[in-house]
Amino acid sequence: MKFKVPRGTQDILPSESWKWQRIEQMIHDVCDLYRYEEIRTPMFEQTELFQRTVGDTTDIVTKEMYTFTDRGDRSMTLRPEGTAPVVRSFVENKMFGWADQPVKLYYIEPMFRYERQQAGRYRQFVQFGTEAIGSADPAIDAEVIALALDVYKRAGLKDIKLVLNSLGDKESRMAHRNALVAHFKPAIDEFCADCQNRLEKNPLRILDCKVDRDHPLMKTAPSLTDYLNEESSAYFEKLKSLLTAAGIAYELDPNLVRGLDYYNHTAFEIMSTAEGFGAITTLCGGGRYNGLAEEIGGPPAPGIGFGMSIERLLLALEAESASLDNSDALDVYVVSLGDAAKDRAFEVLQQLRSAGVKSDMDYMDRKMKAQMKSADRLHAKWVAVIGEDEVEKNVVQLKNMAEGSQQSASVEEMIGFIQNERI
């Protein structure tokens, strides 16, 4: 029997994993810069958490969740998104009582959605997300957006754009909702079964339908922007002016509604504009979720956040032919000739590593020529050759691969040379 990686998942091999490490490090650095701190929540939660928050008319809840009954007969779900678990933790750990508000958190964690596999769409993918909870200041919306853009910029992406919309507050959404029902109702028979179901339950979802996106009524649908009340408009205007002042360009898209129910006010996406990126151009999606903490039993705690998949970031880098800095070269490869030399090589290797020198040696009993080839393949900057003579004299023959020079050196001298070169 042959086993395969499950559909929609992937092994990340060393040829790719170094890129993940670079991106993850970049994310940690940018988050630190903005004073966001890492949170790690469990990989599964009670199913009801997602049903209540993400919304039971959304694609995620109706079709995409990995739900199972555990041995205690409880319904559990592999986390499909990061916001609900973080807000659950915020409430459970009474973070609303922490001295520094808003609480600014981030995570880099795998998410699970049972989706049709296609380029940029996986069943397990890693999301980097931030959540700023406890403030309803539009400046924090601007901060969160700036942070997301900074990560892309640092990674080297150029062809990206920010798309912005406001979903307004509850009152604005109700007014818009009624207009949507009136708009779609007469022709609802022409829409998919899901949309027919959404009409009464959550007509806004119709605008996010992937099946009926080309129906003529989609284009003429009442726009949320026209239904924003004064307060919601003022909030949106403030955010836009903050972004402009910070030199952040944006496009407005009144049909941007996002795939989760809990959003209000700010909704945004960052998209790739690179040619050949493929059908799915959204790199990052986020928005404001005032009311979510109350929904799961906490005190009022307005929040805003986003989620971006690392997989799509890497795809976008590829589409732009932008490359990450790959400083994977080895400092020293230790070549040994004979058993005694091999034992000595291992000793030397550990001394090098204690001194912070990245080094490796042969473990396959290969001839000198093959060992030299390995050193080449691993881009070793130095090669330390140890034979019988060197064992006796307690030295190595140290070759500088770039210069081609060679000299006899003790381990201490060798470490000195290498450290000097780094300065």
State yes or no: residue 79 binds ligand ATP (CB under 6 A). no
CB of 208 to Mg ion, least distance (A): 9
- Neighbour count for residue 405 (Cβ, 10 Å): 9
State yes or no: residue 51 binds ligand ATP (CB under 6 A). no
Q: Which entry of ligand ATP, Mg ion, none binds 151, CB below 5 to 8 A by partner kind? A: none
Nearer to ligand ATP, 58 or 359 (CB): 58
State yes or no: residue 280 binds ligand ATP (CB under 6 A). yes
* Contact flags string 244-283 toward Mg ion, x per CB under 5 A: ---------------x------------------------
Give the residue carrying structure tokens 């993400």: 54
In this chain, which stretch among 16-24, 115-123, 138-146, 167-175 interacts with ligand ATP, using CB under 6 A? Answer: 115-123
Q: Which letter, b or e, does each residue of 160-182 get, where b requires 16 or more Cβ atoms within 10 Å of its Cβ?
A: bebbbbbbbbeebbebbbebbee
3-state SS assignment for residue 266? strand
The CA distance from 292 to 310, in Å, is 26
State yes or no: residue 122 binds ligand ATP (CB under 6 A). yes
Three-point CA angle 108, 64, 66, nearest 5°: 70
Q: Which of 55, 102, 168, 285 binds ligand ATP (CB under 6 A)?
A: 285
Host H or E run for residue 11: none
Q: Which of 113, 288, 344, 381 binds ligand ATP (CB under 6 A)?
A: 113
CB of 270 to Mg ion, least distance (A): 16
Class of residue 214 by CB neighbours under 10 A (exposed 0-12, middle 13-18, buried 19+): exposed
CB of 259 to Mg ion, least distance (A): 5
How many residues sit in the footprint of ligand ATP (CB under 6 A)? 20
Residues 288-347 that bind ligand ATP (CB under 6 A): 307-309, 311-312
CB of 282 to ligand ATP, least distance (A): 4
Nearer to ligand ATP, 175 or 218 (CB): 218
Residues 209-268 that bind ligand ATP (CB under 6 A): 258-260
State yes or no: residue 401 binds ligand ATP (CB under 6 A). no
Which residues are within 8 A (CB) of 244 and not within 5 positions of it... i.e. 6 or more apart? Answer: none
Are 132 and 303 a contacting pair, CB within 8 Å? yes
- Neighbour count for residue 241 (Cβ, 10 Å): 12
Give the residue carrying structure tokens 């990989």: 43
Give the residue carrying structure tokens 């998942």: 9
Give the residue carrying structure tokens 């407005």: 252
Nearer to Mg ion, 111 or 224 (CB): 111
- Neighbour count for residue 387 (Cβ, 10 Å): 17
- Residues at the site binding Mg ion, with contacts judged by CB under 5 A: 259
- Residues at the site binding ligand ATP, with contacts judged by CB under 6 A: 81, 113, 115, 121-122, 125, 127, 258-260, 280, 282-285, 307-309, 311-312
